[in-house]
Amino acid sequence: SDINNFTLAGAIDVDYRTAMSVMGLISVLISLILIYLITCKTPLASRQYRIGLIVLQLYFFLFDVHWCFLFVPLLPLPYFAVYCTGLMCSTLKVDVHYHMIFMLLMATETFAWFFICMLQRHQALIPMNSNCHCSFVLFKYGFLMVGREI
């Protein structure tokens, strides 16, 4: 007889949520250690770059908490669907679409801060007399424009 994917959903959910919780716990611990190392062990010369790295790591931390504990998506293959087994869906009955919108916003913010960190690092490494070096005013204006667009 054919076994439907949804008949085993209870057993799969428990194992899947346990695996996601373990992965989330490991990832959250690593993120907290990295935030500590960035804040306490970074030299004072790279203070502006440190702020970008802290914000980027905080977005990674929020993504891990949301994905592994609050959302925990499950794909019932071969169907094109997603259902949620996390705390927000099981206790507060938050719809999956709101989680997807939140994840899209988080991905956009993470990309923007990654770009800002990369631009800060690029500007710090090139010589001051190079044609590729942005002026301080132009760099701060671009920083504000990227932050305003998001």
Residues 77-135: tens digit of each pLDDT? 777 778 888 899 889 989 889 999 999 999 999 998 898 888 888 887 888 788 777 77
**Distance between CA 119 and CA 49 in Å, rounded?**
10
Pairing of strands 73-74, 83-84: antiparallel
CB 70 within 8 A of CB 92: no
How many whole angstroms from its chain centre is CA 138?
28
Sign of torsion over alpha carbons 135, 137, 142, 143: positive
Question: Can you give the pLDDT at residue 137?
Answer: 72
pLDDT over 90 (residue 5): no
pLDDT number for residue 3: 46
Q: Look at the alpha carbons of 27, 76, 4, 89 in this order and tell me if their dihedral is positive or negative.
A: positive
Quick one: pLDDT at residue 9? 55
Residue 13 has pLDDT above 60, yes or no: yes
pLDDT in tens, 42-86: 887 777 788 889 999 999 999 999 999 999 988 777 777 788 888
Q: Where are the domains of the chain?
A: 5-149
Q: What is the pLDDT of residues 36-53, one digit of tens each?
A: 999 998 887 777 788 889
Supply the pLDDT for residue 53: 92
Measured CA to CA, the distance from residue 7 to residue 98 in angstroms comes to 26
Cα–Cα distance measured from residue 147 to residue 150, given in angstroms and rounded to the nearest whole number: 6
Burial annotation 66-80 (CB, 10 A radius, 16+ → b, else e): bbbbbbbbbeeeeee
Q: What pLDDT score does 28 carry?
A: 96
Q: Locate tokens 């960190």: which residue?
A: 117
